[in-house]
Structure 1
Amino acid sequence: MPNDNKPGTVIQRTWWRIRDLYHELKPCRFSVIVALIAWPVFVSVAQGTEILRSVGEGTAIGGWELLRIFVFFSALMLWAITSWYAARVLLYFDFPAQRGVARSKFAETHVPRILGIMPILIVGWGFVVAARSYDPTATAHRWLLGFAVLCIVLAIVFYLLVALRRRFLGAMRTQQVRHASQLEPGTIIGLGVMALVAIALFIAFTVASVSIAQRLGAGSILFLAAASWVVFGGFFVFLGSRWQFPVITVVVLLALLFSLWNDNHLIRLVPRQEVKRADVLASFQKWYDLIEKNYGADKMHPLYIVATEGGGIRAAYWTAIVLGALQDANPNFAPHLFAISGVSGGSLGAAAFDALLAEPTTASLKFKDKAHAILGQDFLSPALASMFYPDLVQRFIPFPIPYFDRGRSLEMGWEKAWRDTMGNDRFAQSFVDLWKPNPDSREWMPALFLNGTSVEKGNRIITSNLRLTNIFLDADDAADKLSNRRLDATKNACHIPLSTAAHMSARFTFVSPAGRFPDGSHIVDGGYFENSGATTAYEIATRIKDWCAFKKITNVDVKVIMISNDPRKPPIGPAKPQPELPGPKHTKSLLVQGQFMGELTAPLYALLNTRNARGTYAQKAIGREQRRFKAGVVEAPPDSEAAELKTRDIVYFKLRDTKVPLPLGWMLSAAAARTIREQINQDDEVVQNQSAAKEVLANLPPARPSP
């Protein structure tokens, strides 16, 4: 009996109508699901907002490209068309489970149209949110608001075209069908074209994920992925409804089952070489002998250790800019730089700087400019292309296919950026090659300590050219996990590409997967343990200072350079927690806060915020240790001496918030990159980067004039 004729109360009748409407519209649920997923991605998630910002600003390398803007909106319209068309076609069918359900012609007509304009309106609102993060006087603010208006116009035009299409195309099918063969040829062709486009994108992003993805851009890739999900999700809905079998549930259960065997995120290896790894003390002795030989035995020699914190591309770019600017100002900086301890993006910046030092023609090399050219490229698009196409398909295959790994695409993006800029494959070559002696190599190359986190144990896994000893408390040597533990410890090394070495520390949440070692254990971003790199730097500095005291070496002055990239981070000099910095708050804070379901979310928020708190603690601890060492006393000086941290023993480089938000993902906009570069020479009430650079350079021997 139809619900309209059944006796019942108003509430019952209303519920019956809602239930019938749900069953009637259930076939087009994938269009709804994808739109609901897209809403927080473009409105609430920082990396989604950054993608829209890049549309308003252009990328750091290449600027504001009209072609990419055209592709962006074309892909958005393809998603809109797919969302509408898939819903419309599925509502043509008279599935067995729907027979006897009261149908609403109004809903069948207008719901697909609403689903068609939802993607456009979601992105339009995302543009509004992105514009709010800028100062109103910024050019990008106006462009983003303009794109938001364009989205509204496109949504209106799209709705009108769909509503009025019958007038232009003539009478179209209005009756329902029970079999796919009863669909009109035009409908079948349209669905076939959509499926072929999705398959073609899968092949393209599998074969050439970096080059094709960078041409399309991250936003276009997300839209194309959404369209593909709607197409294939709708196909599974059709099969399940036609067969009256839970196809989607079975597919999800198979994916969960296959996850036991299909982990394809293997850490890439390169052929093993004969190497002999020194430890920190042996490396220090080599450094000391070279410094005495080249700069005189009767002089005080500064020894610099860098601790650079994590923060995605912002950290990578800022780290390379700071170190590159110091090297450009005085080539004697690198010979006095003993080691760099990096986390996440900071490790990528450190690896890029060391790789530049390994180039044979560094005398004429502009380090800061090369760092900009390499790290200003779009690394997010290749990762997303692999994430939503080959690596997503991998979840439904019972055996691993390493070629589908999205982490591999990110590494290849870094390799391509280096190759396009420098004309060689150093970033794709072995990590140990940076320190391999050859006629063109430097006498001294700074050591790298790239900090990752163990999934199984939660402790540090450090990727380094030096052998880890017991001075690194509760830390695993990546070389031991990568190679055969039966080898002598001095012969173990990290035989992996340089790009993979950087990625070992920079396995960003979700965008980069956990890397799998040959023994089946996993490594994730170093920021999960602590995000500053100061813990490892502290252990290196303490060991060298203790050794100098034991050997009565009095002409080595150990100094620490800390590179921070979080514009919202309070000063770390004073011991007590400090209030937020003055000025604008355009960059999203790394701290996670919220009131919704506090009893459930409070532990999660605490865990997420702990990683940054541990980093700040480590930075303050190394600062106190430096002051104690300089004072020649056992106990640290009182907190009133915190002002000393601004000079001499600890040198800080940091970023401040400006009119332009500074992103955290793997892509820099043009304005963000320019803002970061400009801050290297800035001194104000928040940052003292120019003074910090002068402090470092003042301790170095004068640069020799060019011949």
Structure 2
Amino acid sequence: MSNFGRNLGYVMHSLRLCIFPIASALVAVVVLLGVPQGHETLRAIAAFAPHGQDDANEISRVVSFFFGYAAWGLANWYAARLLLAQEAPKERRTREAGAAPTETQFIERWRVWFPRVFPLLAMGLIAFEMPDDSERLPIAQVVAFASTAIVALFIGVRRFLLRMRGQPTDRFGRLPAGDRRTLVVALVLSFVLLFSLTFANVAIARLLGAPALLFFALSSITLFGAIVLVYLPISFDWPQIVWLPVVLALAWAQEDWNHNHRLSDRAGFGVSDPAPEERRPPVGAQFDLWLANHLKPRATDPKDLVVKDEGANDPIFLVAAEGGASRSGWWVAHVLGTADYATHGEFSRRVFAVSGISGGSLGAATWVALLAHGRGAAASASVSAPTFPGADDCATLVTGHKDWPMPMQSECFIGRDVLSTTIGYMLFPDLFQRFMPFRNTSWDRSRGLEVAWQKDWHELFGDDTFEHPFMDLYPPVAALPASAAAPGTASSGVRFDIPLLLLNSTRAGLGRPVLQAPVTIATSEADDLFTNWPQARGLALAAVVHNSARFPIISPGGEIVRGDPYPPAQGSPNRRVWDSLVDGGYFENSGSFALLQMLKDIEAGYEARAKTGAGADAATDWAGIRDRIRVVFITNDVPNAKGEKENCVDLKTCDAFPIHQEELLTPPIGLYETRSSRADASMRALLDFLHQSRSDAFTLAMDGSQVILQQPSMNWYLTPKSRRVMWNSFSDSRTAAVAIATKAAAAASAANAKGQAKSNPGPARNTAYEQMCKLLHATPGTRTTDPLPPKDARKDWCDTLTLFQTATATR
């Protein structure tokens, strides 16, 4: 019984010693296997094929993954072995004095085998759970098990290979020379990677890939922590100092010495416009300008300057783009680009504003930026059908193919890996910054997204749209060519031939929504980031998009600090922080709230004109305009395994799922679901304001049998297969729509044959194809001067969806 107590005590002691390698193993297993975003990166490794790469760095990422995988296992073993083989001075003195009890056989075996077994178990678990998306032999899984076996073999025969003296059970009081050299080399390589990812993040991070970066970071942290924070103090008879980095990080953060995420330190923040008046027009004035110019003016005679209003009854589209990282960004850009491609550009001409949240903001900004530069061909006989582009195809965008269908161009941009660049900053320079008592803005991990977007856009399209200020997308009307404005219309406003971008963020401290828009919106329910304070109109487009997508811990909150020349804070002079910006989805995730505030402001303008007599028919005009407004909701929903949407149509009658472990889970689940419910409430409020029901709107959610099986994760990196199955949503859901309609018709026919009343099969499931066709039919036909006659245009538009070449989803 006494031996049992000694053995158990030693086991607990060894676990405390090996806290870094044990934590390293747990973190990797949980992140890569338990987190959908981490598992998505493993899919890319598992789906690798020697030929037909979808990414120029695919081979290097696979090689780096297995190299990092082996290095991670060896680091965990090596650190644990050194810590358990070390004999502290106090232990040595006790042993030399003959007062130390003889070690049990269990302790001797535990000290040898525990460092060997637990890293191999962690490696084996990842290898066992390695996904197999190749639809061939599970090559990645075989290689992972082979790598594990090689590491195990090295551990077993290393003493023979290196001609080491002594026995595995021997202990040492001083680190052997060979181990010192190994540790020096490992730490030097870690710092080389640290500074490489600081100065060439995009290139290095994408070359290695996110999972390899995780392995390298965990290996570096394990070796540094185990040797510097545990081994060295014990060798001097000091207690472990594992707590020291934590205390230092908290102390520096408390004094605000290491906070490098300040948005107010960015270039373009605090830059005032040269004109004393507000550069941005009120949204009501911009709406009037857009109404007068949103249709192409046409006159029967070149001398006739009277513009015939052919679109008096045309719909006015507003788009609410839901958040969800790259998944929603890709889907939003794809849906908008597809609608514009299928309608020969008619759809975008009738979109007044797009409100984006998180990844939806990226998709919306991508679409508007493509429109601003005239990229993306409309469907016609001379334009080839959209096909899923590969890496080689996308590489030619900058030298040509400006007339490629817009969905192909947005895939080339949003389909790129921006997770690796973010992880590269987060686990290396930004993590190092946490323990430094100074601020270095170049180590800010939020640069991982912004710099990648800027470089990718420039590389693909040859301009610096994402690097230039957001407001450069919307120059004053006077800066546009004269042909862009209709004769006799107002000239005050900003560019009106592209939709307005409303990119939403949230103040973390107050929980209030924050609007970023090229127009001013009068509302007391949200803050305007571009007003006189904060003066953020000069921020780059990439930074403005990121403000809408700052979802800690991956993307840090952007802090805004008051100071000269900004107005002082109210109250105590020590309170200088205005607030920190986080993901717009923290307030509501649909994008409907901003559209509602915008419409309320526009309506108030019409009402004011009616009261003052400036527009006698203003109230009637607004009622007619309101009836024309149609909302397009682009959601991030994915059908569940049964092929059904999980969202309930009427929340009042919805049943919630049971909450197990309610003592622990009820508070966080309640907070999260309240956020989701607020998004639904905002959508309802927007439709109520328009006197419409949900059936009057268009709801575009990704769909199809492939999406159901693949389930793309909400991630800043999507595998080529995930993007392919999303690309196939319209064709897959078209098949489902036809099957549902055929089944309903057969049931009705059978009922008629039996002389029974027609059965009511219930509302048909609104597939992505059905909703897109509904949207295309609502878009007015082309004008008489265009190639296609109005009568045939709508049918051709819907049939255009069938021209999309189905992407092979085997990889």
Shorter-chain TM range is 0.7 to 0.9
Bigger mean CA deviation after superposition, 105-114 or 84-93: 84-93
Partner of 2:585: 527
1:612 paired with 2:683, answer no
Partners in 1 of 2:480 and 2:109 — Cα distance? 79
Distance in 2 between residues matched to 1:157 and 1:292, nearest whole Å: 68
Distance 1:610 1:368 in 2: 34
Alignment-derived partner of residue 698 in structure 2: 651
**Residues 110 and 461 of structure 1, relative CA distance in 2, 3 Å threshold:** same
Q: How far apart in 1 are the matches of 2:510 and 2:13?
A: 48
Spell out, residue by residue over 1:144-177, the C-alpha distance to the aligned partner (whole angstroms, 9 max, x if none): x543344334323322331123333333344433
After superposition, give the CA deviation of every residue in 1:305-358 in whole Å (9 maximum; x if it has no partner): 100111111000000001111122221222211111111110111111111112
Q: Which amino acid aligns with 1:432?
A: M
Secondary structure at the counterpart of residue 356 of structure 2: strand
Change (3 A) 1:346 1:61: farther
User: How does 1:36-51 map onto structure 2 within 5 Å?
Assistant: 36-51=26-41
Aligned: 1:319 with 2:332: yes
1:454 matched to 2:534: no
Deviation at 1:46, TM superposition (A): 1.7
Q: Which digits, 9 at most, give the CA deviation of each residue in 1:598-647, with x for residues without a partner? A: 21221111112222222122223333443x26xxxxxxxxxxxx6xx44x
Q: 1:110 to 1:446 in 2, by over 3 A?
A: same
Tell me, yes or no, if structure 1 residue 660 matches structure 2 residue 710. yes
The secondary structure found in structure 1 opposite 2:505 is: strand
Distance of 1:170 and 1:678 partners within structure 2? 59
Query: In the alignment, what sits opposite 1:6?
Result: none
- Long gaps (5+) in structure 1: 1-9, 132-138, 486-491, 581-590, 630-641
Deviation at 1:142, TM superposition (A): 5.7
Residue number among 381, 392, 396 corresponding to 2:420 in the alignment? 381
In structure 2, C-alpha distance between the alignment counterparts of 1:307 and 1:75, rounded to whole Å? 42
The residue identity in structure 1 corresponding to 2:780 is L
The answer to whether residue 251 in structure 2 is matched with residue 257 in structure 1 is yes
Which residue in the other structure is 1:431 paired with?
A: 470
Question: Counterpart of 1:692 in structure 2: which amino acid?
Answer: Q
| Helix, strand or coil at the partner of 1:479 | coil
Aligned 8 A contact 2:273 2:279 in 1:
no
CA contact (8 A) 2:355 2:595 kept: yes
Aligned AA (1:561): V
Is the 8 Å Cα contact of residues 48 and 62 (structure 2) preserved in structure 1?
no
Q: Distance in 1 between matches of 2:81 and 2:69?
A: 18
Q: Counterpart of 2:371 in structure 1: which amino acid?
A: L
Amino acid paired to 1:457: L
Query: Are positions 1:62 and 2:75 aligned together?
Result: no
Residues 449 and 23 of structure 1: is their aligned pair in 2 closer, same or farther, counting only changes over 3 Å?
A: same
Of the candidates 110, 122, 131, which is equivalent to residue 125 of structure 2? 122
For 2:365, the aligned partner's letter is A
Structure-2 change in CA distance of 1:687 and 1:51 (3 Å)? farther
Q: What code does the residue aligned with 1:650 have?
A: A
CA deviations on 1:643-682 (whole Å, 9 max, x unpaired) are: xx44xx3111111342212110100111111111222453
Within the candidate set 276, 280, 290, 1:277 is matched to 280
Find the aligned partners of 2:629 and 2:15 in 1 and give their Cα distance. 69
Q: State the match for 1:637 in structure 2.
A: none
**Contact 1:23 / 1:101 at 8 angstroms: preserved in 2?**
no
Counterpart contact for 1:411–1:503, Cα < 8 Å: yes
Give secondary structure in 2 for the equivalent of 1:219: helix
Partner of 1:616: helix, strand, or coil? helix
Q: From 372, 390, 393, give the equivalent of 1:358.
A: 372
CA–CA distance in structure 1, aligned partners of residues 209 and 219 of structure 2:
16
Q: 1:53 to 1:687 in 2, by over 3 A?
A: farther
Give the greater-gyration-radius structure (CA): 2
Q: Does 1:397 align with 2:436?
A: yes
CA contact (8 A) 1:58 1:669 kept: no
Structure 1 pair 280/95, CA: closer, same or farther in 2 (3 Å)? same
Q: Counterpart of 1:667 in structure 2: which amino acid?
A: Y
Q: Which moved more, 1:418-427 or 1:274-283?
A: 274-283
* Maintained 8 Å contact 1:239/1:247: no
Aligned AA for 2:74? I
Are the counterparts in 2 of residues 592 and 609 from structure 1 also a CA contact under 8 Å?
no
Assess if the C-alpha contact under 8 Å between 2:289 and 2:496 holds in 1: no
Partner deviation per Cα, 1:397-456 (whole Å, 9 max, x = no partner): 122211111111211111122112111211111000000154578652211111111111
Q: State the match for 1:266 in structure 2.
A: 262
Q: Which amino acid aligns with 2:437?
A: P
**Counterpart-to-counterpart distance in 2, 1:276 and 1:362:** 30
Q: 1:579 to 1:52 in 2, by over 3 A?
A: farther
Are residues 534 and 592 of structure 1, via their aligned partners in 2, closer, same or farther at CA, if it must alter by over 3 Å?
A: farther
Q: Does 1:676 align with 2:726?
A: yes
Q: Distance in 2 between matches of 1:477 and 1:468?
A: 8
| Correspondences of 1:423-502 after superposition (within 5 Å) | 423-437=462-476, 438-439=479-480, 443-470=496-523, 473-480=524-531, 484=533, 494-502=537-545
Who is 1:30 aligned against?
Answer: 20
Report the alpha carbon displacement of residue 106 of structure 1 after superposing the two structures with TM.
1.4
* Cα distance change of structure 1 residues 283 and 86 upon mapping to structure 2, 3 Å threshold: same
Distance 1:365 1:517, change over 3 A: farther
The corresponding residue for 1:199 is 191
CA separation of 1:224 and 1:313: change in aligned 2, threshold 3 A: same
Residues 706 and 310 of structure 1: CA distance in aligned 2, closer, same or farther (over 3 Å): same
CA distance in 2, matches of 1:705, 1:456: 53
SS in 2 for 1:425: coil
Alignment of 1:104-115 (within 5 A): 104-115=107-118
CA distance 1:566–1:98, shift in 2 (3 Å): farther
The equivalent of 1:595 in structure 2 is 660
Aligned residues between the structures? 646
2:635 counterpart residue number:
564
Structure 1 residue 160 corresponds to structure 2 residue 153: yes
Partner of 2:772: 693
Within 2, Cα distance between the matches of 1:112 and 1:26? 13
Counterpart residue number, 2:174:
179
User: Once structures 1 and 2 are overlaid, which stretch shifts more, 679-688 or 393-402?
Assistant: 679-688
Q: 1:62 to 1:352 in 2, by over 3 A?
A: same
Kept in 1: contact 2:634–2:700 (CA 8 A): yes
1:141 to partner: Cα distance: 6.2
Task: Report the counterpart of residue 88 of structure 1 in structure 2.
Answer: 81
Q: CA RMSD in A?
A: 2.9
Aligned partner of 1:587 in structure 2 is: none
Measured in 2, the distance between the counterparts of 1:250 and 1:593 equals 42
Residue deviations 1:81-137, cap 9 Å, x none?
Answer: 11112222333321135554764321222122124314422322442xx55xxxxxx
Residue 667 of structure 2 aligns with an amino acid whose one-letter code is P
How far residue 269 of structure 1 moved from its aligned partner, in angstroms, is 3.2
Check whether the contact 1:431–1:495 (CA below 8 A) recurs between aligned residues.
yes
| Contact map agreement 1:592 1:608 (CA 8 A) in 2 | no
Counterpart position of 1:5: none
> 1:242, CA displacement in angstroms?
2.3
Question: For the residues of structure 1 that align with 2:440 and 2:660, how far apart are their CA atoms?
Answer: 42
1:245 Cα offset (Å): 3.5
CA displacement at 1:216 relative to structure 2: 0.8
**Aligned residue in 2 for 1:634:** none
Please give the alpha-carbon distance, in whole angstroms, between the structure 1 residues aligned to 2:657 and 2:539: 35
Moved more, 113-122 or 655-664: 113-122
Q: CA deviation at 1:208?
A: 1.1
Once residues 348 and 108 of structure 1 are traced to their aligned partners in structure 2, the CA distance between those partners, rounded to angstroms, is: 52
Q: Structure 1 residues 52, 98: CA separation in 2 closer, same or farther (over 3 Å shift)?
A: farther
Secondary structure class of the residue paired with 2:435: coil
2:650 corresponds to 1:575: yes
Cα pair 2:294 2:497 within 8 Å, conserved:
no
SS of the residue aligned with 1:91?
helix
